[in-house]
Amino acid sequence: MNTQPRASHFINGAYVEDEAGVPLDVLNPATGAVIATLHEATPAIVDAALAAATVAQKAWARLMPVERARVLRRASDMIRDRNAELSRLETLDTGKPIQETEVADWPSGADALEYFAGLAPTVTGETVPLGADFAYSLREPLGVCVGIGAWNYPSQIACWKAAPALAMGNAMVFKPSEVTPLGALKLAEILMEAGAPAGLFNVVQGRGGVGAQLVTDARVAKVSLTGSVPTGRKVYAAAAEGIRHVTMELGGKSPLIVFGDADIDSAVGAAMLGNFYSAGQICSNGTRVFVHRSIKEAFLARLKTRAEAIIMGDPLDPATQMGPLVSPEQHAKVMAYVEQAKADGARLITGGGASGAFVQPTVFADVTDGMTLACEEVFGPVMAVLDFEDEDEVVARANATEFGLAAGVFTADLTRAHRVVAALQAGTCWINAYNLTPVESSFGGVKLSGVGRENGKAAIEHYTQLKSVYVGMGPVDAPY
């Protein structure tokens, strides 16, 4: 497979290169081999992308919503038709197993394009009766939006941001993570082929500095970031300078609470999905698994057996269930957390080792709230199991974190499930399930995990602004 794109950037409907930009080698995480070499965007490239988006947005916003929808729906169909080839590229770029990327990455992106294509023609304002006069509201696009992506779901993130933005009449300049820059270029190609006008969706490559240039440009109306809390703070502050709209999808340290009456096999399965899928590199992971003392040892025994059966290996092999971490830096960071957990006295149930770029699925039990493993986002396949005794106690401990992205509850008692979910401080909760993020349901965090929402009808509000229009029907009654 040819993994070298025709050029580094996609601007105004075409691939563009500027070799003056700092070279960026793209590595296959499983082997370390260089699979593409790109160049960081120079200021001239950033300027060209924003200029193209500014022009394209005006004409795009004037189209009928069904016309915009048609383009997005076509793009969604094309992604589904090309899923095999796109997923292979995603696997080479991220190291995630092909059995995951074929069902979870581009397919979720296609869902977003299809969903927001369906919503676009339904978005209307309201009429406000005011006696003889009346007012009405219009939901208008924001203008040029900047999307900045993390490396864990690069193509899904690009689609989740582009779909609502474009559906509502905005244009976008997207900067992927420099670690995983390839998928967004494919999305740009596909949107063009589907009939999007040149300049509507542009991709510029680069590290944080390129993102910073985009965020502070006067032409930009909105910034949507998926990334870590420290980056979120910087981007939010930079956007505030120009009073720009923001969506911040940041990190988490989410609780997954397993009560004594839970179906243990389902709870174990969910805890594994919420810690080992994508080698644990998922923001909403349930990385603090609170297990009721009455079932703790049974839970750990089943977890150990199933974790040790996980098949690791070549991500392109359809049998592989877990791949490497995305980069040597991430690998080093995760292994440091493993060593810290050992030093802090957590009980290693399984894993704890590494081989090459891979980290074994790892479970620590007897983790206590103050340990580093229970407080910081690891972003690797490392599960922390904590015990609890009663409901009030576990809710208080689950909420005792600065994050608030997600939370899960496993119990057979429906009343308790809803009571606990109501008390949890998290933007996305699951009952007897974990980490399912269908595009129909909104997703996002509270507290340090972010502001704004992606997906669902809520995303519409984050890519539009309201204009109120007062209509006077009679003579003006002025007191002078």
* Residue 109 touches ligand NDP, criterion: CB under 6 A: no
91 binds ligand NDP (CB under 6 A): no
Is 376 one of the catalytic residues? no
Paired tokens of 302: 């089943």
Q: Which of residues 316-375 bind ligand NDP (CB under 6 A)?
A: none
Catalytic residue at 102? no
Binding segment (CB under 6 A) for ligand NDP, from list 67-75, 207-215, 336-344, 358-366: 207-215
Q: Taking CB under 6 A as the rule, does residue 285 contact ligand NDP?
A: no
102 counts as binding ligand NDP under rule CB under 6 A: no
Catalytic choice (40, 102, 161, 222):
161
> Sign of the C-alpha dihedral, residues 228, 229, 235, 239?
positive
Any contact of residue 255 with ligand NDP (CB under 6 A)? no
Catalytic residue among 283, 296, 377, 447: 283
Q: Is residue 402 among the annotated active site residues?
A: no
Instruction: Give the Cα separation of 458 and 112 in Å (integer).
Output: 13
221-235 burial: b if 16+ Cβ within 10 Å, else e: bbbbbbbebebbebb
Sequence-ordered list of residues with C-beta below 8 angstroms from that of 330, at least 6 positions apart, any chain: 281, 379, 380
Q: Answer for the pair 473, 133: CB distance below 8 angstroms, yes or no.
A: yes
Judged by CB under 6 A, does residue 215 bind ligand NDP?
A: yes
User: Could you tell me which of 453, 425, 429, 449 has the C-alpha nearest to residue 439?
Assistant: 453
Q: Angle 65-81/182-193 helices, nearest 10 degrees?
A: 120
Q: 188 by DSSP, 3-state: which?
A: helix
Which amino acid, residue 270?
Answer: A
- Tell me: does residue 283 bind ligand NDP (CB under 6 A): yes
251 binds ligand NDP (CB under 6 A): yes
Decide: 177 and 205 in contact? Cβ < 8 Å.
no
Q: Does 212 bind ligand NDP (CB under 6 A)?
A: yes
Closest by alpha carbon to 362, among 388, 399, 387, 336?
A: 336
Among positions 418-457, residues that touch ligand NDP (CB under 6 A) are 445, 450
| Cα dihedral 346/347/350/354 (nearest 10) | 40
Task: Provide the residue type at 428 as one letter.
Answer: T
Cβ closer to ligand NDP: 199 or 380?
A: 380
159 a catalytic residue? no
Only one of the segments 60-68, 184-192, 248-256, 393-401 lies at the binding site for ligand NDP (rule: CB under 6 A); that segment is 248-256
In whole angstroms, the minimum distance from the beta carbon of 38 to ligand NDP comes to: 11
Which one, 149 or 169, has the nearer CB to ligand NDP? 149
Rg (CA), the chain: 23
Of positions 94, 249, 271, 357, contacts ligand NDP by CB under 6 A? 249
Query: For binding to ligand NDP (CB under 6 A), which residues are involved?
Result: 148-152, 175, 177-179, 207-208, 211-212, 215, 225-228, 231, 234-235, 249-252, 283, 377, 379, 405, 445, 450
Catalytic residues: 161, 249, 283, 454
